[in-house]
Amino acid sequence: MADYDEANLSYVCSSWAPILGFGGCAAAVVFANLGGAFGTAKAGQGMMAMGVRSPELLMKNIIPVVMAGVLGIYGLIVAVILNGKMVIPDGDGNTTYSVYSGFAHLAAGICCGLASLASGLAIGISADAGTRAVGAQSAMAASWKKMGFTGDAGGQVTSSGDALFVGTVLIQVFAGNLGLYGLITALILSQLDYQCGDGGN
């Protein structure tokens, strides 16, 4: 073990540096789960409203709930990786976890957490509107058929809501990609690591 000079290492491996790393772990999990919770709640709200009139479409429109739930897993993955990067002080109580690593890991946690939060907001709001629209179109088509309309009637009679459903799914995919971008960035940032004793210290 190299001899530590507190005067030279105080700014590189300060005693408060691990706070940054643990903050990154917390930010990844907390913000990602906030996004997942909002997305799940908002999408579920729209699904239940749609299920009143079109219960047969309930399971078909469960995709947004699954995609919102995945966001929490993103935060968990990043938090576990960052936790593995944390270094406990040595036997003399000197901190070997550098400020450089701390800021890199804090940035990783914030990237994943806030990106997942934004993704959850997008998924929840779009899913709420999308599932309600799919259910309304299906109910309208059924009403036209009950009234005896057999013509096209603007596509309402023959439509089963597939066009709106496909559009809703595409919106969910692009909204979910936002969280994936944050996860990828966080994984790259988590690899930036420097410990006291590396590079000649």
Query: pLDDT band at residue 201, thresholds of 50, 70 and 90?
Result: very low
Interatomic CA distance for residues 165 and 138, integer angstroms:
10
25-60 burial code (b ≥16 CB/10 A, e <16) = bbbbbebbbbbbbbbbebbbebbeebbeebeebeee
| Residue 7 clears pLDDT 70, i.e. is over it | no
* Residue 76 CB coordination number (10 Å): 15
Give the list of residues 6+ apart from residue 114 with CB closer than 8 angstroms, or none: 27, 31, 182
pLDDT digit string (tens) for 177-192? 999 999 999 999 999 8
* Residue 158 CB coordination number (10 Å): 12
- Alpha-carbon torsion angle 78, 80, 35, 65, nearest 10: 100
pLDDT digit string (tens) for 15-54? 888 899 999 999 999 999 999 999 999 998 888 888 777 7
* Alpha carbon distance, N-terminus to C-terminus of the chain: 11
How much of the chain, in percent, has pLDDT values that exceed 90? 39
Residue 41: predicted pLDDT? 93
Distance of CA 11 to the CA centre of its chain: 34
pLDDT digit string (tens) for 104-148? 999 999 999 999 999 999 999 998 888 888 877 766 666 666 666
